[in-house]
Every structure is written in C-alpha cells, then in structure tokens.
Amino acid sequence: MSVKRVAIIGGGAAGLINAQRFTKAGADVVIFEIGTKLGGLWMFGNDSGRSSAYRSLHINTTRDATHFDEFPFRTAPKMFPSHEDMAVYLNTFADDNGLRERTRFRAEVKRVEPVVEEVDGVSVTKWSVTAADGFEGVFDTVVVATGHLTEPRMPASLSAFGGELLHSHSYTEPQPFRGKRVLVIGTGNSALDIAADLAVVAGRTVISARSPELIMPKIIFGNPVGKYEGMVKKKWLPKDTHILVRRIITRIVHGRMETWGLQTPKGRTHPISHATLVNHMAYDRVKVRPGIRTISDRAVTFTDGTREEFDTIIAATGYDLSFPFFDESIVSLDSGGSLNLYGRAVSPRWPGLYFAGYFNTTGLSNLRIDDYQSRWFVALETGKTILPDLATMRAEIDEVKVWVKRRYPNTPRYAFELDPPLYLKFLQQEERLGPKRIAESGRPAAFLAANRSAADRSTLRSASAA
C-alpha cells in the first residue's frame, strides 16, 4: 500500500498489537502514550494514572490463551499469569517489534478531529491529532486504544459515607486496611480479589452483593476450569453446553451460592471466578450482605434490614467511558452505555477511525481478540476488504444490542459483552465478503484504500447494496 500515517492512541495491549500489524503492513505508525511506560492496564503503578492493577492481580485466562496469536510467552509463567508476567510480555513484544521507538511518551492526546483534503479531485477524510507534548500532525488512520477500565464510576449515594471511601481503581494492596472494618461493594472479579486480599488483614471484611453471581472455581482436577468448558464447545453440541458444564463444576466445588449469602443467577451473567474466596467465606473471614439501602455517617443499612458500621468502603462499581479528545458528533455512548460501532470496532460514518479493545469476553483472552481486530483494521486500510453499506452496518449494530439485552442483565456492565466464537465468525465473514464487496463497488481496491471521505459511507460503500 502507499505509505499511510497511522496514529495509535494508547500503549496498552490493544494499541501495541495494532501498531505492530500496521507497521508490518508498511504504515508510518506513531503511538501516543499518556505516561512513560508501555503495558497499559498490566503495568502496576503505571504513572499514566489509568491502570487499575493491584499487587495481587492475575489474569483470568490461562497462559496458553493469553497471548497474541504469533507471539507466545517465551518462558512458561504460572498457569494464570500475573500482572508482572503480562507487563514483561507486552514490553518484550514492543521491543522485539521496534514499537518503543515509535512511541511518544507523556503525550496525552488532547484533540482528534477530521480534516478534508482534496487528492486528485477526490475529497479525502484524514485526522488531525494534537497532543499535550506539543505534537500536531495529520494522519490517514486513527486507532483509539485507551481502554474502558480507566475512569472510575462512583455512585453519588456513597458520598453520605463518613469514613474512608475509595474506588477499587485506587486499591493497590491490603496492608493499609489492617484491622479496619471494610465493606467491598460489587461482585466482579476485582471485588472478589480485593475481598480475598483483605480477608486475612482487615478486622472485618464484608461484600455487598446486589446482583446474583456465580463464583466459579479456578482449578479442578489440577486443570483450569476453562479446559473443561472448551472440551464441550463442539459444533454438534448445543451452543450453551459449556455454560451448563460451568454451572455443574461450580455446584460440585462451591455448592449453592445461597450457602454463602449470594444468589444463584437464573440467566446468563459474565463469569467470575476465584481460587480462595469461598474458602474465606467458609472460615467466616468474609461475609456477604445484599445491596445497600441507606448510609448514615459510618453506618450502612442493607436491603435485608441488617446494619453495620465500617471504617472503609471500597467501591468496585465499574467504570465510565469517554473520549474527551473527540467532539460528540464523532463518537458518543448511547443511553445504554454502548458505542455505536460496526463489529464492535469500526465507525460507520468516519473513514479511518477504529476502536480497539472495547469489549468484555470470556473463554478467550482479550489479547487474542485484540489481535484479530487489528488484522481486520489493516485489511480495511489496505483495500483487501471494505465495509458494507450504511444500512447493513446500522442493522448489525442494532442486532448486537438486542443480542446483549436478550442474554445478559440490562445494565451498563454488560454493554461491551462479546461472545468469542460468534465474533470470530463475524470477522471471518468480513474477510470472506471483502472481494465480493470490492467487485460490486466498481472501484479498484487501491482506490478504496487510498481515497476515503465521509461520503464514502453513504455513496461509494452503498454500491454493495445496489
């Protein structure tokens, strides 16, 4: 392809694999990193202020599934890699591929806006990028990879608490809470890790679990639980057989959730797992209470009528998402907390604008999905495939929202939920349909890769629907 300039916003896993794929395709790539380190979320103590890693953090997927497709771990880390393992892995990947030299550190992106240039009589949309280090430049392509676990969501109702209040994003280790009465709000994986950390240090540890949750074990018969789920993911078996296996294993190892003060979910939820928390519950080191009704100074009254006083509340209450460097006309979240993106990643309206890593997944690591997404982006930018018409893209976006709403609780937590087999099938279909769409467009592939305007989305692209 002709040399394109590609801006990657964010030096975490999604940003690095996109930088590597575009560099390999011949693009001139610049990575904009807000801090001084590569690794994003997995860099404990990252001076970017955007990492939510804590000292005991391990990834939830196994080492065999937690790597880019063509770059496995060089040394065999533990079964579930730690944040140290992941930071070393990502930095090794960056150095092996010359990505550190392509990175502008302390370069928070302040503004990204479209600019229209006339190229051989054709209006072409490019992107002006302005960064805090004084950089100003124009790029053909922008990949946004700033992550969706960086802006803590703190419920306003917690402001009534008279003790120490912090979000799980700010939690790093249990020692500061020695002897304290601590309430952890939430039942996501981070909340469970934090409660387990505190169990042997805090004076009292309580989890407030508003929603039903299934706490899976990590290992059974010496193998990760995911191994047994994978064994039943066969085309000739019902597609949700692995979920049944997950529930059976959990029932065998942990019993009924009600035994521990939780509620067993009736429908599908995002899987959570922990190796030791249920044992801490059995030893009465961690208690479970339902949702919060009221807070008065340090006293918390729960929906079952029980009341306790706490010194500290740690709110594992999720994250908000925003893109302050974009005008809202470029991208914004809808009322359900979703980004209106084709294939979870591509702007239907704006050429050359991609969003990498904005999903939650189970059964396959985020890194592997990041990798597959990056290949799609490169294929689009090199003219190997093109997008369908606007109507098709909007229909797919709506279908995804219906799919999420039908399968998961209707809360912002599930807005980015993704099913790996279905998503990989979608990406394979995009690759397969590319030549057909190019032929139907009546334009050479090189033209499609080099000349894009905002009008492409409604005119040139719509030729495939004719």
pLDDT in tens, the chain (466 residues): 467 999 999 999 999 999 999 999 999 999 999 999 999 999 999 999 899 999 999 998 888 888 999 999 988 778 999 999 999 999 999 999 999 999 999 999 999 999 988 766 677 889 999 999 999 999 999 999 999 888 999 999 999 999 999 999 999 999 999 999 999 999 999 999 999 999 999 999 999 999 899 999 999 999 988 888 878 878 788 877 888 888 999 999 999 999 999 999 887 777 789 999 999 999 999 999 999 999 999 999 999 999 999 999 999 999 999 899 999 889 878 877 788 999 999 998 898 999 999 998 876 789 999 999 999 999 999 888 888 888 889 999 999 999 888 888 777 778 888 888 889 999 999 988 888 888 887 776 666 655 554 455 444 333 333 3
Based on the domain organization, do 177 and 115 belong to the same domain? no
- Helix segments in 239-300, DSSP class H: 241-254, 277-282
Among 280, 298, 317, the domain-final residue is 317
* 270 is a domain residue: yes
222 and 137 together in one domain: no
Contacts 24+ apart (CB under 8 A), 122-130: 122/451, 122/453, 123/453, 123/455, 124/451, 124/452, 124/453, 125/350, 125/351, 125/352, 125/452, 125/453, 125/454, 125/456, 126/352, 127/7, 127/352, 127/353, 129/7, 129/32
The full length of the chain comes to 466
Backbone φ and ψ of 183, nearest 5° = -110, 125
Which of 317, 342, 363 is where one domain is finished?
317
- What is the predicted pLDDT for the residue at 446? 61
**Co-location of 257 and 400 in the same domain:** no
Judge if 275 and 296 occupy the same domain.
Answer: yes
Q: What are phi and psi of 154, to 5 degrees?
A: -110, 110
Q: Name the residue range of residue 448's domain.
A: 5-150+320-465
Q: Are residues 341 and 428 in the same domain?
A: yes
The predicted pLDDT at position 447 comes to: 60
Domain count, the chain: 2
Instruction: Please give the pLDDT value at position 62.
Output: 86
Structural tokens at position 263: 């509620």
Residue 157 lies in a domain: no
* Residues 251 and 373 placed together within one structural domain of the fold: no
Q: Is residue 413 part of a domain?
A: yes
Query: Is residue 108 assigned to a domain?
Result: yes
Same domain flag for 364 and 424:
yes
The answer to whether residue 159 sits within a structural domain is no
pLDDT value, residue 36: 96
Q: Both 308 and 345 in a single domain?
A: no
What is the C-alpha separation between 178 and 420, in angstroms, rounded? 41
Cα gap 222→208, rounded to integer Å: 31
pLDDT value of residue 239: 77
Same domain, 346 and 456: yes
In this prediction, residue 335 carries a pLDDT of 73
Q: Which two tokens stand for residue 310?
A: 């706490």
CA distances from 421 to 243, 278, 363 (A): 14, 30, 9
My answer on whether 208 and 340 are in the same domain is: no
**Residue 156 lies inside a defined structural domain of this protein:** no
Q: 0.85 cut: is pTM over it? A: yes
If asked whether residues 219 and 302 sit together in one domain, one would say: yes
Average per-residue pLDDT in the chain?
89
Whether residue 265 sits in one domain with residue 174: yes
Q: What is the CATH number of the domain that holds 253?
A: 3.50.50.60
Of the residues 296, 317, 338, the one at which a domain ends: 317
